[in-house]
């Protein structure tokens, strides 16, 4: 059987699998993947006649200049180091959209960024501490329950607002990354289209195109790691970042450490990055920009827009300057 037929069969089997439901839990994931030892990806099937296919993963440098990933003490999140440097920011491919232009160079200070998207188990610690609000919905696209279910504790938390994400990062001693920091962590020092390079996306690189119809366990696609070792920066869930969104921001953004446009009246959209498990390949490009409603101080006190909107396709990761 050819590899193409094998992969197609596996995708169909994966999409038809219904996860079991077990009792809720909010413990910290104990065995998150690490880029210091990238595993071999083994694709297996329980169906008779379909053999096991093994795809060797290329070595991934955990972080430049000898920095090993460090562990954040609040939630056990591994963080990877991104050195100071120049980011080639924006759309460099033929599919660039207006809000990705003009492509431009930006210099950034060094920072650390979460290696993975914040998980249900990690977010549950903040909820237990009485700091974070629970996700607005406890279920995902195909799973109920999702949040609080130990089967999915290592999967990205979803249906959290920008305010929820910011609250969590503050509780954990970190912050949301700026849009420019997010893009540098995903792209590295060149003008690549995807975190892994120029190779067109497949189901070996990312969770996208509705192949799975829901989220994946964080770090499930080591072949899709960014140059600095950050995982799932294409597909799985889109990610909140710090900046307000303006479609024309790149036309006059600062050339050093940009933090997004200043808030003006009715400027309440916040940037989301990375694309989702439902998005086509064109929307998981590094340069692709999205937006969703952030907190609106002018909204009524009982309006959901007071704290911003959430989605079953949006999560987040945190960053820190030191």
Give the separation between CA 90 and CA 93, rounded to whole angstroms: 9
Helix (H) or strand (E) holding 240: strand 238-244
- Residues in CB range of 209: below 8 A, 6 or more apart: 201, 203, 278, 279, 280, 281
Tokens 């994946």 belong to: 216
Give the separation between CA 153 and CA 186, rounded to whole angstroms: 24
Q: At what angle do helices 120-128 and 162-171 cross, to 10 degrees?
A: 80
315 beta partners: 239
Quote the strand ranges of 56-163, DSSP E. Answer: 70-72, 77-82, 85-89, 104-108, 111-114
List domains and CATH numbers for the chain: 3-320 (3.90.1580.10)
Per-residue pLDDT of the chain (322 residues; tens, 9 = 90+): 443 333 334 333 333 333 333 333 333 344 554 433 322 223 232 322 222 223 233 333 445 555 788 999 999 999 999 999 999 999 999 999 999 999 999 999 999 999 999 999 999 999 999 999 999 999 999 999 999 999 999 999 999 999 999 999 999 999 999 999 999 999 999 999 999 999 999 999 999 999 999 999 999 999 999 999 999 999 999 999 999 999 999 999 999 999 999 887 677 899 999 999 999 999 999 999 999 999 988 888 888 788 899 999 999 999 999 8
Straight-line distance from the first to the last Cα atom of the chain, in angstroms, rounded to the nearest whole number? 51
233, burial (CB in 10 Å: exposed 0-12, middle 13-18, buried 19+)? buried
Q: Which pTM was predicted?
A: 0.81
- The residue among 254, 290, 285, 255 whose CA lies nearest residue 271 is 290
Residue ranges in 153-281 assigned as alpha helix (H) = 162-171, 179-187
| Torsion angle of the four alpha carbons 42, 47, 50, 53, in this order, in degrees rounded to the nearest 10 | 0
Helix (H) or strand (E) holding 53: strand 53-55
CA 88 to mean position of chain CA atoms? 20
Radius of gyration of the chain (CA): 19
Quick one: pLDDT at residue 2? 41
Strands laid side by side in the 314-316 sheet: 289-293, 269-273, 238-244, 314-316
CB contact at 8 A, 152 and 144: no
CA atoms within 13 A on the CB side of 266: 0
- The residue among 247, 108, 233, 241 whose CA lies nearest residue 175 is 241
As given in the structure block, the two tokens for residue 263 are 């808030």
């Amino acid at each position: 059987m050819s590899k193409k037929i094998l992969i197609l069969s596996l995708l169909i089997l994966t999409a038809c699998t219904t996860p079991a439901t077990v009792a809720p839990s909010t413990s910290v994931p104990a065995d998150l993947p690490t880029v210091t030892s990238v595993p071999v990806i083994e694709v297996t099937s329980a169906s008779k006649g379909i053999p096991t296919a093994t795809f060797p993963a290329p070595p991934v440098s955990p972080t430049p200049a000898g920095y090993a990933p460090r562990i954040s003490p609040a939630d056990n999140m591994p963080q990877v180091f991104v050195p100071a440097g120049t980011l080639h920011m924006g759309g460099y491919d033929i599919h660039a959209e207006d809000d990705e232009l003009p492509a431009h160079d930006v210099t950034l200070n060094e920072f650390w960024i979460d290696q993975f998207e914040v998980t249900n188990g990690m977010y549950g610690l903040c909820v237990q501490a009485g700091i974070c609000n629970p996700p607005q919905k406890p279920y995902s696209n195909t799973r109920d329950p999702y949040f609080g279910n130990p089967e999915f504790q290592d999967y990205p938390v979803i249906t959290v607002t920008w305010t929820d994400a910011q609250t969590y990062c503050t509780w954990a001693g970190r912050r949301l990354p700026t849009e420019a920091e997010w893009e540098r962590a995903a792209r590295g020092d060149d003008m690549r289209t995807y975190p892994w390079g120029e190779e067109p996306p497949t189901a070996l690189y990312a969770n996208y195109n509705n192949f799975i119809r829901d989220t994946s366990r964080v770090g499930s696609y080591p072949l899709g790691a960014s140059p600095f070792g950050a995982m799932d920066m294409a597909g799985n869930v889109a990610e909140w970042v710090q900046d307000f969104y303006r479609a024309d921001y790149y036309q006059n953004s600062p050339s050093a450490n940009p933090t997004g446009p200043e808030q003006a009246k009715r400027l309440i959209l916040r940037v989301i990055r990375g694309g989702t498990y439902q998005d086509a390949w064109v929307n998981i490009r590094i340069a692709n920009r999205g937006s969703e409603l952030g907190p609106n101080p002018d909204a009524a006190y009982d309006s959901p827009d007071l704290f911003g909107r959430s989605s079953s396709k949006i999560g987040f990761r945190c960053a820190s300057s030191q």
